[in-house]
Structure 1
């Protein structure tokens, strides 16, 4: 609650700052946008110990407002799907509430609740993933269904982040180097800090050509469970991301603390053809960094865009899961994405 009061107070102070070009009211009117998106899903699996082998429903629903006043950009986003009584907290909740000073591309300051700056995939919009959901690396090691037992936080936390893009190319104007570094509470979204320790997360990547990013990330911190147990996080990641007509992304991450774990994935997508696009992906997570506790997924996905705001995606995955009752099984889902 104290963090939210501080956040609101900062917004008030920033909004009251003198503006040279237009009044605050005029800027809010011109620069404020409201929107949202919904992902509906029908899915099935041959996994024998699955609680539900076939299901349909809303996978994700979000509503947001973006605005900008002077050099300050602000965002508020709500997660609307799920039950308010869900004990795992995959329910209606505030996911984004931040303000960022954006006067310079070389140095920006963000404060509030937002995505942790760990891995290439974590900050990506679900619409752009290509494989129907986030990879196990992101899910287990970037704060979605985190291996520490942290409540569902969608890769986010409350903190302060610095970031910027440096060294402009004379050929096409792209920036050669991106940096980001942040300090976070370590407790995930909508939860108060429980100790004096903080999480430190940073990333650095180079862009040798406009559409190619090669980077490394680090995360040092801890998480305090409800019973008072403190779980260390010592995580590192390297990755590559290409977003031209062809798309490709691959990352490896390791957690050196709390029993150790590692994960990696690779995904490649074809150029769009008559509004259609095809992806193939390989996804592995290993608890204890052991193949005896590995979950591997070999998948293919197909997208069709009826409209820039309406997309259908079919996903198939063959699972080899050493932690399941039956190690080998199939999973398929059909997802419909629409935004407004």
Structure 2
């Protein structure tokens, strides 16, 4: 009887051990499969985007009012490794086009490289996206001298094709004392090859005395090829100088924002300048009133100054939804009638 009990106990222990061993092997195989899947999915791009509907009213001329889909963007971002990432952003509203397409190498916080099509390094406002800009439209001086509806007839949403180097020095708690970004670009906007033999330089240096305060100087120097006609009526490419210099300051403590910039530019033989001051304050976490003074001179040798007085409010009912309302009183020296404009914008992100 004792022998039978011992044999039974041995069989039970052996069976339990074998069962545990099989279970451990199955768990290890499952963990390996999960790790393999996670390794694959970690290299897949994250997909996000935004849809932007807008209503505009103006009493200029006979008056106008219209709805439109201003933006419909799809944004893919991913990591090739811990030091390489990429982005591909497309605009589907209107004529579909690529906005951003770049690869970044990030070996350290001091020195990083970005190559492809991207927003170039000029001004404090240009890097803002539609989801973060306080007003519905960019400041006029940014639009005219930073590659949106540029005086050089280059339109690229503040973007170009080239290579940039950026980083920061003197690490503080949550920010750098000094940030820099410099680049070499074609100077011909997005999705275009260069149309002259020169390359354009762009750069910005930002000093942050405290986390909430940024003081910046930026510069753009180069030329753009413009199609003209010779005496025989034949087209030729003429190089037009495109030089801009900007000085800006920003204070942002996440409740109060004040940002201003002065930018001067030379396009061929015409000199332009302008400045803006934006102030915004969160009265509640969901409501942000905004005021902006926006001044621009298309030609400093003529009476072409335009001033926009803007009042608005941003409302965030839920995380991925923003409603904006702007009123603009638009005055211009060479225009007989001032203009009133109202714009409302709905922006949804996903």
Q: Same fold (TM over 0.5)?
A: yes
Distance in 1 (alpha carbons) for counterparts of 2:153 and 2:87: 28
Q: 1: CA distance between counterparts of 2:258 and 2:296?
A: 19
Matched, 1:275 2:283: no
Contact preservation (8 Å) 1:160, 1:182: yes
Aligned partners of 2:174, 2:99: CA distance in 1, in Å?
33
Cα deviation code 1:241-272 (max 9, x no counterpart):
22211011100100134211001100000124
1:183 and 1:331 map into 2 onto residues whose CA distance is: 38
Distance 2:37 2:283 in 1: 42
Gaps of 5+ in 2: 1-34, 229-236
Alignment partner, residue 213 of structure 1: 214
Secondary structure of the structure 1 residue equivalent to 2:221: strand
Match of 2:152 in 1: 148
CA distance in 2, matches of 1:274, 1:126: 19
Aligned to 2:103: 99
Mapped partners of 2:87, 2:38: distance in 1? 17
Q: State the partner residue of 1:78.
A: 90
Give the structure 2 partner of residue 295 of structure 1. 306
Query: How many Å apart are 1:29 and its aligned residue?
Result: 3.3
**In the alignment, is the contact (CA less than 8 A) between 1:28 and 1:69 conserved in 2?**
no
Deviation per residue, 1:259-301 (Å, 9 max, x gap): 1100110000012415111010000110112571011100111
Q: Match for residue 21 of structure 2?
A: none
For residue 31 of structure 1, report the CA deviation from its aligned partner: 6.0
- Counterpart residue number, 1:160: 163
Contact 1:131 1:301 in 2 (8 A): yes
SS at match of 1:146: coil
SS of 1:207's equivalent in the other structure is strand
- Give the alignment of 1:259-274 within 5 angstroms: 259-274=270-285
Tell me, which stretches of 5 or more residues in structure 1 are unaligned? 1-21, 83-90
Aligned residues of 2:215 and 2:249 also touching (Cα < 8 A): yes
User: Partner residue of 2:77?
Assistant: 66
Give the Å deviation of 1:30. Answer: 5.6
Q: Is the 2:70–2:93 contact (alpha carbons within 8 Å) kept by the matching residues of 1?
A: yes
Cα distance, 1:212 vs structure 2: 1.3
* Selected match of 2:344 from 307, 331, 334: 334
CA–CA distance in structure 1, aligned partners of residues 271 and 133 of structure 2: 26
Who is 2:242 aligned against? 233
Preserved contact between residue 101 and residue 110 of structure 1 (Cα < 8 Å): yes
> Equivalent residues in 2 for 1:173-184 (5 A)?
173-184=174-185
Are the counterparts in 2 of residues 28 and 67 from structure 1 also a CA contact under 8 Å? no
Say whether 1:110 aligns with 2:114.
Answer: yes
Q: Distance between the aligned counterparts of 1:265 and 1:191, measured in 2?
A: 30
2:49 aligned with 1:36: yes
SS in 1 for 2:60: coil
1:248 aligns with 2:258: yes
Alpha-carbon contact 1:33-1:65 (below 8 Å) kept:
yes
Distance in 2 separating the partners of 1:129 and 1:274: 17
How many Å separate the matches in 1 of 2:174 and 2:275?
32
Query: 1:229: how far off?
Result: 2.3
> Does the residue aligned with 2:141 lie in a helix, a strand or coil?
helix
Number of corresponding residues: 305
Q: Under a length normalisation based on structure 1, what TM-score does the superposition of the two structures give?
A: 0.86
Q: Say if 1:106 and 1:314 are closer, same or farther in 2 by CA, change over 3 A.
A: same
Q: Distance in 2 between matches of 1:28 and 1:260?
A: 52
Q: Does 1:139 align with 2:140?
A: no
Q: Do the aligned partners of 1:319 and 1:327 also contact (CA within 8 Å) in 2? A: no
Instruction: Return the offset for 1:226.
Output: 3.3
